[in-house]
Amino acid sequence: MRGLPLGLLLFILAPIAEIWLMIDIGSVIGAGWTVLAIIATAVIGASLVRYQGLGVYTRMNLSVSRGELPAMEMIEGLSLFISGILLLTPGFITDAMGFLLLIPPLRRRFALNILKRFFIIPNGIKPGSDGDPRVDPKTIEGEFRRIDK
């Protein structure tokens, strides 16, 4: 319930800010150029999302074929999906946020922060690596065979 007022506030203020900025830019460059700029950013953004999405899809398939979990690629794909939504939404603020997610180093940093926050121990140590407090140092690996009588 606590996130509802913030979400509602963003839901109301974001379109107001977008409309205000479009009117402000339209008064400087003209309404036709403003509409053309909004359409151009949507078309360019959609093609960039498609191109980068194919790259992420290829890297994800390579990770799976190596037997690895493609966690980073999955979050990058989600980031590209969000970027595409932002770029197709009319407005300059959403376009700026969408284009920021199209920059690979920023997108990877965003994905890495998501992974660290939700799937990796807070101090950055991956589960199973040296220094992992969840791994018992007295664990002995071996094989066993169950013999039913």
Q: For 127-137, write each residue's pLDDT tens digit.
A: 544 554 555 55
The enclosing H or E element of 145 equals none
Q: What is the pTM of this model?
A: 0.72
pLDDT tens-digit series, residues 82-98 = 999 999 999 999 999 99
Domain that holds residue 31: 17-118
- Location of structure tokens 């960039």: 48
In a domain, 84, yes or no: yes
In a domain, 104, yes or no: yes
In a domain, 91, yes or no: yes
The two structure tokens encoding residue 125: 């140590």
In a domain, 128, yes or no: no
In a domain, 33, yes or no: yes
In a domain, 79, yes or no: yes
At residue 147, the pLDDT reads 84
What is the number of domains present in the chain? Answer: 1
At residue 7, the pLDDT reads 79
